[in-house]
Amino acid sequence: MKRRISRFICALICCTPIITSAQTSEKITSPVNLYKEGRNLFLQKNYAAATPPLKAFIRQEPNASLREEAEYMLVCSAYELKDKNSITLLRNYLEQYPDTPYANRIYALLAAGYFYEEKYDEALALFNSAQLDLLGNEERDDMTYLLATCYLKTGNVKEAAIWFETLKASSKKYDNDCAYYISYIRYTQKRYDEALKGFLPLQDNPKYKALVPYYIAEIYAIRKNYDKAEIVAQNYLSAYPQNEHAAEMYRILGDASYHFRKYHEAINAFESYLERDASPRRDALYMLGLSYFQTGVYSKAAETLGEVTGANDALTQNAYLHMGLSYLQLAEKNKARMAFEQAAASNADMKIKEQAAYNYALCIHETSYSAFGESVTVFEKFLNEFPNSQYTEMVSNYLVEVYLNTRSYEAALKSIERIAHPGTRIMEAKQKILFQLGTQAFANASFEQAIGYFNQSVAIGQYNRQTKADASTGAENLTTA
């Protein structure tokens, strides 16, 4: 009997730890403890660790009064852990609990979720459905930053600037970010002084020191501070030769070199720019083309300038002019004539038009198959369009040469009559032409007509005294005959 009692006591003693252990395990994994554990981890922002106990709590107590709270923490954890289904989970939560006190924050998290998916219009709609000022200070600032960026991404720079400035005034965390974006917006609005003032302090900022030099250099170039633009570009290319903005820095360096008339350096910089940018800026190609022209590389000058003639503006007009000048150097007069004709057809810059028209007239004169034809017409047109041109005397000399050498006096006289303001050389030629016409009429026994021409030659004046004297003598002799 004693043995039985002894064995029973021993068995009881041996089983006691097992029973105690089971009771302890049940206590630890009870729904209340699971909820507390999950909630504590959630508040500590340990979202990955908080998820399992919260899910276990919901499985054990599907109808518990704390279920709504637990599910809220779960969907928020999914968002924080960048779960690909977080937007769906957040929306489902709102549908299940439309009166949740967390609705405002859920809207904000949904907006942020759409923001990170680059769905900025959807994000804006949800941000505007939330009251961001009711969020905690840190989260409010985070969401305000995303809101401002949404406006910027959707092209509403005015609203973006307002929100960035609002955030900059209240958040030290986003002070530099806001300063950068406000300056960028001012840059896009061509408010360069304000932009430069904001960019300069960010040059040593680790996040922005590889970004802001481009805008600083570009603003200096726009302001024609080419010495400063050159220094910023050179320093940047030394520090970040492979950076994505290196191409633009080579362009700015080429721009500065071009304006300093360092054309060989400009060519090197622009060619480095073209190697890195498949869609180069039009003004860069223009300056590269003119740099080729200035260094005597005429074939490349004509080819490069031909790429910038798509618009109807002064840049295109000057490009055509220098294409024509380049083709002249290459002895391709027909191509030169066509380029000059294009430049002369534009009224963008009247000085360029004048130079182009003159060169076009010369090309016509030198390539014309008719001794008295198209060249006379273009010379007449030039003198009528540009009566006070620096080229007037030279054009007049060409016309006089044609008038007198071709002996087409009637045609020459009609040509002179079409010139509104003939100069001295033209009037001298007219006096001689009238005398020659009088001589021809005399030879043809048309004496009255001869007298008329001689008198007109005399009436012109003292442009050529010898011609006047000869005409006067001829008229007198015929009158007294």
What are the helix (H) ranges across 277-423?
282-294, 298-305, 314-329, 333-344, 350-367, 374-385, 392-406, 409-417
- Angstrom distances, CA of residue 372 to CA of 387, 405, 424: 22, 10, 21
Pairwise CA distance, residues 375 & 377, whole Å: 5
Pairwise CA distance, residues 297 & 310, whole Å: 23
* One pLDDT digit (tens) per residue for the chain, 481 residues: 444 444 544 444 444 444 443 333 434 578 889 999 999 999 999 999 999 999 999 988 777 778 999 999 999 999 999 999 999 999 999 999 999 999 999 999 999 999 999 999 999 999 999 999 999 999 999 999 999 999 999 999 999 999 999 999 999 999 999 999 999 999 999 999 999 999 999 999 999 999 999 999 999 999 999 999 999 999 999 999 998 899 999 999 999 999 999 999 999 999 999 999 999 999 999 999 999 999 999 999 999 999 999 999 999 999 999 999 999 999 999 999 999 999 999 999 999 999 999 999 999 888 875 556 788 889 889 989 998 999 988 888 888 887 877 777 787 888 888 888 888 888 888 888 888 888 888 888 888 888 888 788 888 888 888 888 887 888 888 887 6
Q: What is the pTM of this model?
A: 0.77
- Using alpha carbons, select from 148, 144, 111, 106 the residue that is nearest to residue 126: 111
